[in-house]
């Protein structure tokens, strides 16, 4: 439902949430909009651990369509 990502977004420059359940992403986007949170994105998919580590280490945003996400 994006609750964790929305909490992170309050303390970060940006936050990215990923869930493999479409309705959870829809709910998260709706909640972000209702709260006026604009520094967050949500995507449907699965994220591999190696991709997460790559994105964190290089400080790059998660990109839809990369490594099964």
* pLDDT tens digits, one per residue of 33-52: 999 999 999 988 876 666 66
* Per-residue pLDDT at 60 exceeds 80: no
Listed in sequence order, the residues at least 6 apart from 35 whose beta carbon sits closer than 8 Å to its beta carbon are 6
The answer to whether residue 25 scores a pLDDT higher than 80 is yes
Specify burial of residue 20 (Cβ count, 10 A radius: 0-12, 13-18, 19+). exposed
Place of tokens 């994006």: 2
Strand-pairing partners, residue 41, are 16
Partnered with residue 42 across adjacent β-strands are 17
Confidence of residue 29 (pLDDT cuts 50, 70, 90): very high
pLDDT of residue 46: 74
- 12 — pLDDT class (breaks 50, 70, 90): confident
């Amino acid at each position: 439902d994006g609750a964790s990502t929305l909490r992170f977004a309050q303390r970060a420059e940006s936050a990215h949430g990923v869930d493999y359940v479409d309705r959870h992403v829809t709910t998260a986007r709706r909640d972000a909009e209702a709260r006026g949170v604009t520094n967050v994105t949500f995507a449907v998919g699965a994220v591999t651990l190696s991709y997460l580590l790559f994105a964190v280490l290089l400080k790059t945003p998660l990109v839809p369509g990369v490594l099964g996400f």
